[in-house]
Structure 1
Amino acid sequence: MPALAAHRSETRDVLARRLAAEFATFSTGTVERCVADVHACMTHLGLDATPDLVERLAREHLVGMIKSEPPSGRGPFHSGHGDL
């Protein structure tokens, strides 16, 4: 079983590198987390997390993140303690 887990990790690394090259807007760590999260969610839901599906869903998520950014860009983080 450890060999299978290592293979999955290598596959996720390859997908993350490919998507990081495509989405240079995001840090490599952000793309790696996206790929890992998509894989974990698919597995949790009982779906077959094939590399093709993980890549397509991660790409859709990254595109959604780009499209959700306001035209003025991301503002500074607010702690929610009356910083408005």
Structure 2
Amino acid sequence: MVPALAGRSSSSHDATAQRLAAEFVPIPPATVERCVADVEACVTHLGLDPTPEIIERVAREHLTGMIKSRPPSGRPVRSRGRF
């Protein structure tokens, strides 16, 4: 967990991380937990109220970006040579 949030883990934080880990199975649960903690830290840093709804919505956007940035499975890697 992020050091700034080490003592702040709550049941809503844990529930959010568990829900998102179940939704984003290809991403390791530890990465999902770290994403949720990072989003909470960023929201707090910006002076906003870190409600579970905001944390989940922003973390879901970040995790979706991680999934979409992965190359499709089985796609051949192209080299700079001739085809």
TM-score, normalization by structure 1: 0.73
Count, aligned residues? 69
- The structure, 1 or 2, with the larger RCO (C-alpha pairs under 8 Å, 6+ apart) is 2
Q: CA deviation digits over 1:62-81, x for unaligned, max 9?
A: 000111112358xxxxxxxx
Give the distance between the partners of 2:8 and 2:43, measured in 1 at CA: 17
Gaps of 5+ in 2: 1-6, 75-83
Gaps of 5+ in 1: 1-5, 74-84
Q: CA deviation digits over 1:38-62, x for unaligned, max 9?
A: 0000001101111001000000000
SS in 2 for 1:60: helix
Larger Rg over CA atoms: 2
**Going by fraction, where is helix more abundant, 1 or 2?**
1
Give the distance between the partners of 2:71 and 2:33, measured in 1 at CA: 23
TM-score, normalization by structure 2: 0.74
**Residue identity matched to 1:43:** T
SS in 2 for 1:14: helix
Q: What is the root-mean-square deviation in Å for CA atoms of aligned residues?
A: 2.0
